[in-house]
Amino acid sequence: MNKNNLLSLHSYIRPVPLLLVFSIIFPVQLSAQVVALDRGQTIEEKRNGWLPYMFATESLGTAIGAGAFSSGGKRQPQSTLFGTAFITSNESALISGAWNNYQLGKSRFFIDSFFLVDHFTDQRFYAGPDIDPNNPRAGTNNSNPDAYVSGVSNELTFTATLKYRLPIGSIKDDPVSTYRLYQGLLESGPKGSSSWNPMTSGQTTVAAKFFYTYRDLSDFVFNETQSDPVEEQLFAKTNGLEFWLEYDNTDFPLNPTSGSRQLLKVTSDFGWGESRDSWANLEADFSKYYNLGDSDWFRQKSLAFNFWTSNTADWEVTAEGDINHQPPPNYGSSLGGYDRMRAYPSNRFNDKSAVYYSAELRLIPQTQPLRDLPVLNYFEIDWWQIVPFIEVGRVGDTYDSDLFFKDLKVDGGIGLRFMTFRAVVRLDWAVSDEGSSVWAMISQPFSRQGN
């Protein structure tokens, strides 16, 4: 295997219980510079929490760990600090943390930072050599789902983001948006959705993010051939910059019910330092929301639609079939995982380009038995939500009209969402022709800023 292709491999660790733990421990407001306050709550109030946890998966064995978060406060009411660490019975381990939405003085500039260090003894990557040249390349749209490589892997990732909130629209006078809630639903007036005009409505943000990832793989096995482990260690690095522009014209970014959101993003590795390759990827993300009101059965009903597309501009296939200027799947055109094509493993599909369509019906029942139950009342659950959804998408080796309409993958499912500590966490189950997956994660789909 070419060492330069390591970061094009995709990691998949069957992360259902782990992500559920993250969702409970880290109810952070990831969408924007937002402060969501319950009726009677003050902006100076600081919120802290921690939780020990245990889970078990096929690839990790039994794991024990702990996580904690701290948010709010008089000086930085919109910022959040969180972290977690765990060890497992198969000698895997992880430590991760972030500090989000730190405001520089009284300016319109905000900083996010994130780090992740892990060691996994059974890591899966959807890539590798062509075992049968007559079959599609691993990870492509019609590839064999059993075409993957697994082995021992280490990763180090660090990102730092500088964001600027433009002095227009609803944040003309204050870059921090404050929302007043009652039992998890918006009580104060919306900051957007009244009209599509960035000068008078909604919130506009521009940002630049530096990223760095190191990844290695050793003692790896090709699943299709069931070969003996290869005792070679491969490693690669990627680093670069991501630039994005977001116009959020929704009523409430953490749980939108009306308005729209647009995001344009350019991500590039310039080949600096020990980077494995240079590449540039372009993305566009559009969401639209419709409020369907309430009823005898539901406190709130809404429709959510999303369209996303991605293309690696300098992607090049050589005469020998090697790929130059290929971004790692987490940075390029990929589908599968907790946000897009949720029935498939994370980054199950990856190629030069991708397209994705989705629709969700979000229903919050009138009945709410969770708020006063022992143990659960610690998490301040304001509401729960039932969400049937459908998704359509594909990846391709060219960016043309066929990408948008032909040979599309389809999945569907149902989700459970919860408003806890004034943030949304979710548990989604989806099924496709390749099987089913369950994902738990922070925030509504289509809502993470810069992602």
pLDDT tens, position by position, 9-47? 433 333 333 444 444 344 344 445 778 888 877 777 887
CA 148 to chain centroid, in Å, comes to 22
Q: Using one digit for the tens of pLDDT, what is the confidence trace for 393-417?
A: 999 999 999 999 999 999 999 999 9
Q: Using one digit for the tens of pLDDT, what is the confidence trace for 59-79?
A: 777 888 888 888 877 788 888
Q: What tokens were used for 147?
A: 């075409």
How far apart are the C-alpha atoms of 230 and 317, rounded to whole Å? 27
- Compute the residue count for the chain: 451
Residue 220: how many other CB atoms lie within 10 Å: 24
Query: Which amino acid would we find at residue 70?
Result: S
Q: What tokens were used for 304?
A: 């959510």
Q: What is the 3-state secondary structure (H, E, C) of 64-131?
A: EEEEEEEEECCCCCCCEEEEEEEEECCCCEEEEEEEEEEECCCCCEEEEEEEEEEEEEEEEECCCCCC
Strand partners, 206: 164, 245
Q: What is the dihedral of CA 286, 337, 438, 87, to 10 degrees?
A: -130
Domains parsed from the chain with CATH numbers: 3-442 (2.40.160.50)
How far apart are the C-alpha atoms of 69 and 198, rounded to whole Å? 33
Residue 99: how many other CB atoms lie within 10 Å: 18
Is residue 95 very low, low, confident or very high in pLDDT (cuts 50, 70, 90)? Answer: very high
Q: Using one digit for the tens of pLDDT, what is the confidence trace for 170-200?
A: 999 999 988 989 999 998 877 777 789 999 9
The structure tokens 């009244």 sit at 194
Q: Using one digit for the tens of pLDDT, what is the confidence trace for 319-374?
A: 877 888 988 867 899 999 888 999 998 888 999 999 999 999 999 999 998 888 88
Strand partners, 424: 419
Q: What tokens were used for 194?
A: 């009244």
Range 46-61 average pLDDT: 74
Is pTM beyond 0.85? Reply is yes
How far apart are the C-alpha atoms of 401 and 403, rounded to whole Å? 5
How far apart are the C-alpha atoms of 46 and 413, rounded to whole Å? 37
